Amino acid sequence: MNFTQSFRLALKSLSTSKMRSLLTMLGIIIGVAAVIIITSLGHGMQVYMNEEFESLGSNQVDAMILGDNDSSRHVDIEDMFALVERYPQYLSGVTPELRITAIVRHGADEFTRTEVEGVGETYYSVERNTTMEGEKLAKGRFLSYVDAQRQQSVCVVGAYLEREAFGGSALGKSLTLSGVPFTVVGVLDEYADVTEGSGDDVVYIPYTRAIRLSGTTSSEYLFSATSRETAPAAKGLVERELFKIFQDSDRYVVLTAAEMMDAMNTMLDLLMTILTLIAALSLLVGGIGIMNIMLVSVTERTREIGIRKSLGAKPKNIRWQFVIEAGTTSAIGGVLGIALGILAANLLTWILSMVLGSEDSFRAVPTLSGILVAFGVSVAIGVLFGYLPANKAAKLNPIDALRYE
């Protein structure tokens, strides 16, 4: 008796009680669908983040100064500019990024959660129309070199202030930061969900102006390497320069965008693995369900087993018959689960695009590897949990099985 015969026999036996077979498969169906949905979401997330990262500029190198920057050893902004000028083949620009605390007022309105950042003109790339954070300019212009040089009191506001403070016409109007008036020269596009404290609740001012306003100096510098390939070398240059200043490698951290992305991906992978394992738990439950039904089935079919044995079925024939039946049950459950999972992933993509309101935002894409693994695991679980009942059937004594009522 070979595999296809056993397989056909299994299909036959499953089709004689379709409802029961379906209920048996339910655990596997749900488990596989959950694994597919989670891996699709994870993969979609990864694709989304990587695309975002490409659009931000994969050539970014981020230097953070740790601890007190105002002691005897400190970074002079001019040194950083000089570094860029010295290595034009590796570095194409740098901007300080300094977050200051300032109360934002417009008329009688006060915005306490607005993030106020001092940056240079390099923070925004005209060719790509995007800031290093990924925001796009909607109206007006971004901060210029001259703004920084002359410490102009100008600012670029996010979509939240544009809407909440200015009712959609911020350009040319003014707001105050810690009592000092600033003129709005640019407005950013919607970037997050345009709520208070979100990524849209920001004000960018020239870094020179921010330094004067806060009395501190910048502790973060965003370099642009000439390309993605030169980013690691650029990182080395920045590190060497910072070491010259601090003589202590614990005082600063320099990361390329690629490294940040890798760190994010690693985190995401870990998260996905944990979630997938949790989803896989339901596969285990499904396997136990299969074992349960197979045990019942073996008991119900004791007489059939006896007849088969009297006609010359070997223990291994009987074992195969039941193992394949269990495997087939879970395989069919796996296929149904995959279909359900793909359907759910597409539905999720659709819902997310409705909620986020943009076409090309986030897509939950089922991965081939996710599908193959889910299918493989479900078959393996069926075979594994089918083995015990199958073995019980195989070991039945022929005459006892034949006499069973």
Partner 1 sequence: MEHLIEFRDIYKIYHMGDTDVHALDGVSLTVDQGEFVAIVGQSGSGKSTAMNIIGCLDVPTSGSYYLGGIDVSTMDDDQQAEIRNKMLGFIFQQYNLIAKLNVLENVELPLLYAGVSAEERHTRAVRALERVGLADKRKNLPSQLSGGQQQRVSIARALAGDPSVILADEPTGALDSRTGREVLAFLQQLNAEGNTVILITHDNSIAVKARRIVRLQDGRVIYDGPADDPRAVVQPEDREEAAV
Binding site for partner 1 (CB under 8 A): 1, 5, 12-13, 16, 303-304, 306-317, 397-399, 402
Lookup: tokens for 48: 């989304």
Residue 16 CB, nearest distance to partner 1 (Å)? Answer: 6
Tokens for 78, please give them. Answer: 């001019």
State the nearest-atom distance from the C-beta of 52 to partner 1, in Å.
58
Q: What is the DSSP string of 355-405?
A: HH--TTS------HHHHHHHHHHHHHHHHHHHHHHHHHHHHS-HHHHHH--
Pick 112 or 397: Cβ nearer partner 1? 397
Using the minimum distance from each CB to partner 1, give the nearer residue, 235 or 308: 308
Q: Give 21 or 114: the residue with its C-beta nearer to partner 1.
A: 21
On whether the CB atoms of residues 189 and 136 are closer than 8 A, the answer is yes
Min dist. Cβ of residue 12 to partner 1 (A): 7
User: Which residue type does 62 have?
Assistant: D
Cβ at position 37, least distance to partner 1 in Å: 37
**Least gap, CB of 399 to partner 1 (angstroms):** 4
Smallest distance, Å, CB 303 to partner 1? 8
**Residues belonging to the chain:** 405
Both tokens assigned to 315: 């223990």
360 vs 75, 115, 123, 285, CA distance in Å?
41, 28, 25, 37
Nearer to partner 1, 250 or 405 (CB): 405
For the stretch 73-103, what's the b/e string if a residue is b when 16 or more beta carbons lie within 10 angstroms of its beta carbon?
A: eebebeebbebbeebeebbbbbbbbbbbebe
Min. distance of Cβ 353 from partner 1 in angstroms?
Answer: 50
Partnered with residue 205 across adjacent β-strands are 118
Residue 335 to residue 375: CA distance in whole angstroms? 7
Burial class (CB in 10 A: 0-12, 13-18, 19+), 321: buried
* Residue placing its CB nearer to partner 1 in the complex, 275 or 307: 307
Q: Choose between 323 and 342: whose C-beta lies nearer to partner 1.
A: 323
- Tell me whether residue 113 is exposed, middle or buried, using C-beta atoms within 10 angstroms of its C-beta: 0 to 12, 13 to 18, 19 or more: exposed
Angle in degrees, 0-180, between the axes of helices 18-56 and 315-356, rounded to the nearest 10: 40
- Closest CB 291 distance from partner 1, rounded Å: 22
Closer to partner 1 by CB, 17 or 169: give it.
17
Nearer to partner 1, 235 or 301 (CB): 301
